[in-house]
Amino acid sequence: MSSYRILFVCMGNICRSPTADGVMRHKVRALGLEPWVQVDSAGTHNYHPNSPPDARSQQHAAQRGYDLSALRARQMTEADFEAFDLVLAMDWDNLALAQALCPPQHQHKVRRMTEFCRQYDDAVVPDPYYGGAAGFEQVLDLVEDACDGLIAHVRQVRPVQTR
C-alpha cells in the first residue's frame, strides 16, 4: 500500500507549517503510522530558504513535546501538487496562492488545515509571527486538533493497522 502524503503550507514556512509538520510527524510516529503517512511543509514565499523554524515556534512546540529542530524552510513548487495527496494551507491568502500555483487536475487536493479541526471552529490558523506567546499557543491548539482530524481522515481513505 502506498503512503498518504500531506504537505502543510504557510507563507514563509517558519512558524505555522513547520509546527503542523512536527506535530503530525509526532502523532504519526506515536501511532505507528510512519509506513503509511508522510508529511512535509513548505512556504508560498521563498523568504527563509533552508532556515530552521522560528525560535518561538520551536520553543512552544518543545514545551508540548514536539521537536521541530530538524525541519528546514523551503518554497512550495508545482511538483508538490503531484507528489502530495493533500496540500493544506494555514489561511485564506496562502490557500489562494496555492490554488493559483496548482495545476487544474490537482485542485481537489488543496484545502485549509482547519477543515480537519474537530474541537475548534476557526476558519484559519492565524500567523503568530508579529504577536506574542499566546499566538504560538493558539497555533499549537489548532494544529493539534486538526492533526487528530487528519489522522481520522487518513484512516478512512487508507485503512491501516495501527498499534
Q: Active-site residue 40, yes or no?
A: no
Among candidate residues 79, 12, 7, 16, the one with its CA nearest the CA of residue 37? 7
The catalytic residue among 15, 16, 25, 91 is 16
| Strand (E) or helix (H) holding 93 | helix 92-101
d(CA 34, CA 15): 23
The catalytic residue among 21, 80, 91, 127 is 127
d(CA 100, CA 113): 17
CA 145 to chain CA centroid, Å, is 12
The catalytic residue among 10, 15, 102, 147 is 10
Q: Active-site residue 122, yes or no?
A: no
Inter-CA distances, 13 with 75, 95, 129, 162, Å: 8, 14, 11, 30
Q: Active-site residue 148, yes or no?
A: no
Q: How many CA atoms lie within 13 A of 25 on its CB side?
A: 19
List residues with catalytic annotation.
10, 16, 127
